[in-house]
Structure 1
Amino acid sequence: MAVKVSGPAISAATARVLLCLGEMGAEYELVPVDFFTREQKSPHHLARNAFGLVPVLEDGDLLLFESRAIARYVLRKYKSSGPDLVREGSLEESAMVDLWLEVEAQQYEKGILPIFFQIMVVPVLYGGVPEEKLVADGVEKLVKVLDVYEARLSQSKHLAVDFVSLADLSHVPFAHYIMPTPYASLFQSRPHAKAWWDSLASRPACKKVTAALLTSELSLLPLMDDACLHF
């Protein structure tokens, strides 16, 4: 029986899960959640995730939320049918995957999210003007992170060790949104980070999932991550 994933395909958090399912060649059912009607705050959805956020994964009686936790579950569940993206066969390698996944969540996202929100969400959804200071603060944080990445990627093709892992793939959704903007230069001006991104973006599963991310004005809604799903 295919697992069910509740959330918009254009959400970065949902896309993170769909990307892992795609990498593993797993079947799934995507259940839309309508943010225009605040379905994420409905009793039905709150019964699945009391925080009223997306995505939610249903696998039989099992309910999971938080996209990175779901991603780990997916990669373990389907480990026999796809690449080893969490490296649980090696204690050291799995620790490195966990380390860089934490860096993605605690450092990278804190820089790139405010840039995305201000330059893409504020003008489109709210008809407002981006707050330049918030953008500048995000850029300052992201520059520091990408400098660390550039140094790391000068020694290893990917972040954890010399293989693609969940730690790499988790960066894809927000980076994909930033690439059509002038802030793509933050990646492109760093040759190792650029090569890393290009290799991720060329993966078939990434192409399939990100095809939905910038196809319409709807893709600019603030459905992109738990951090901006409080309206």
Structure 2
Amino acid sequence: MATPVKVYGPPLSTAVSRVLACLHEKGVDYQLISVNMAKGEHKKPDYLKIQPFGQVPAFEDEDISLFESRAICRYICNKYVDKGNKGLYGMNPLAKASIDQWLEAEGQSFSPPSSTLVFQLAFAPRMKLKQDEGAIRQNEEKLAKVLDVYEKRLGESRFLAGDEFSLADLSHLPNTQYLVNATDRGELITSRENVGRWWSEISSRESWQKVVEMQKPT
């Protein structure tokens, strides 16, 4: 029997939840290993051996280790290509290239402003930190411009990389979940007809709902 892959980090982390969603889509068994960041476990020598930047997630599959959630997701899709959602990372070079370009758009254009908004609006109050109104305003404007591009694209195709759900869509789930459900800026997503339709569809997938359940307090 194959040894389950190991994922290190809390499900509430956007990067960890991205990897967990991918594993559920692919039907790959895994072991989730807690990392108590409040106690600095992510900065201890043993952990730094597998994640040299001291962040989450870290990932192990037998004798290999990886970090960076998008790279981990690509690895999962490539190694376990015949499991679960076989088309998650495309079935031919053109499909993969289309997925990759939207993964790049997510990482370079969508993630920076959405991450800032999630931190400022959802996490800063919990951490009793003062919100930076200038950063909120600036990143809301940046994200709106990105979502205008998405709105046009999603008027042309059901999902970002085509008519099938892919890793490109999955990668948007973590930040958008917080933006829609834990801040007062959810209308950035829901007020756009095509983006709102897309979000409703991808967020209702069984794989993501399993991750959301894992994020609930026990």
TM-score by length of 2: 0.95
Q: SS of the counterpart of 2:39?
A: coil
Q: Find out whether 1:138 has 2:139 as its counterpart.
A: yes
8 Å CA contact 1:96–1:160 kept in 2: the answer is: yes
In structure 2, how many angstroms separate the alpha carbons of the residues matched to 1:81 and 1:195? Answer: 28
Q: Alpha-carbon deviation of 1:198?
A: 0.5
In structure 2, the residue matched to 1:34 is 36
Q: SS of the counterpart of 2:185?
A: helix
Q: SS of the counterpart of 2:125?
A: helix
Of residues 42-51 and 148-157 in structure 1, the stretch that sits farther from structure 2 once superposed is: 42-51
Q: Find out whether 1:192 has 2:194 as its counterpart.
A: yes
In structure 2, the residue matched to 1:85 is 88
8 Å CA contact 1:173–1:210 kept in 2: the answer is: no
Q: Which has the higher contact order (CA 8 A, sep 6+)?
A: 1
After superposition, where does 1:38-57 map in structure 2 within 5 Å? 38-57=40-59
Cα shift readout 1:158-213 (whole Å, capped 9, x = no counterpart): 00111111000000011111112221100111010001001101100010112233
Q: SS of the counterpart of 2:60?
A: strand
In structure 2, how many angstroms separate the alpha carbons of the residues matched to 1:56 and 1:128? Answer: 28
In structure 2, the residue matched to 1:225 is none
Q: SS of the counterpart of 1:179?
A: helix
Question: Aligned AA for 1:29?
Answer: Q
In structure 2, how many angstroms separate the alpha carbons of the residues matched to 1:212 and 1:129? Answer: 29
In structure 1, the residue matched to 2:112 is 110
Aligned mate of 1:72, from 49, 67, 74 = 74
Cα shift readout 1:9-57 (whole Å, capped 9, x = no counterpart): 1111000000000001111000010011011100111111111111111
In structure 1, how many angstroms separate the alpha carbons of the residues matched to 2:162 and 2:93? Answer: 13
Q: SS of the counterpart of 1:49?
A: coil
- How many aligned residue pairs are there? 214
Question: Aligned AA for 1:192?
Answer: N
Identical pairs, percent: 41
Q: SS of the counterpart of 2:150?
A: helix
In structure 2, the residue matched to 1:168 is 169
In structure 1, the residue matched to 2:22 is 20
Q: Alpha-carbon deviation of 1:129?
A: 2.2
TM-score by length of 1: 0.90
Gaps of 5+ in 1: 219-231
8 Å CA contact 1:4–1:29 kept in 2: the answer is: yes
In structure 2, how many angstroms separate the alpha carbons of the residues matched to 1:174 and 1:154? Answer: 22
In structure 2, the residue matched to 1:156 is 157
Q: SS of the counterpart of 2:12?
A: coil
Q: Alpha-carbon deviation of 1:128?
A: 2.1
Cα shift readout 1:31-89 (whole Å, capped 9, x = no counterpart): 010011011100111111111111111111100001000001111122111111111x3
RMSD: 1.2
Of residues 199-208 and 115-124 in structure 1, the stretch that sits farther from structure 2 once superposed is: 115-124
8 Å CA contact 1:113–1:174 kept in 2: the answer is: yes
Question: Aligned AA for 1:146?
Answer: L
- Which runs of at least 4 in structure 1 moved beyond 3 Å after TM superposition? none
Cα shift readout 1:123-156 (whole Å, capped 9, x = no counterpart): 211x122111111111011100100000000000
8 Å CA contact 1:152–1:159 kept in 2: the answer is: yes
